[in-house]
Amino acid sequence: MITMYFLPLMLMITTLIFIVCIRIVLLNVVIAIVSEAWDTAQVRALNLFWKFRLEFLSEARFFAYLDKRLCHGGCVEKLGERIDGLR
């Protein structure tokens, strides 16, 4: 007679323990997925940083070269001197 009253209580406790265990397992899975994505993003971010850094440096060198060749003693300055000499 007493066991009939404890059966629903035991079933409820067992279900609660099962739910807690499942939540812990699912949270571990989510943590593993996020951790893997974080590692991948860190590697990709480092590669992208150096790629864009090198692109910036090459562009800066190119524009410095153009500035030196065209503006300082280059064809733009010579053209300006010719225009000034027309007066």
For residue 75, how many C-alpha atoms fall within 13 Å in the half-sphere facing its CB?
1
Tell whether pTM > 0.75. Answer: no
- Looking at the domain assignment, is residue 1 inside a domain? no
Domain of residue 46, residue span: 18-85
Structural domains counted in the chain:
1
- Looking at the domain assignment, is residue 64 inside a domain? yes
pLDDT tens per residue, range 16-72: 999 999 999 999 999 999 999 999 999 899 888 888 988 888 888 887 777 777 777
Calpha distance 79→30 (Å, rounded) = 67
- Looking at the domain assignment, is residue 9 inside a domain? no
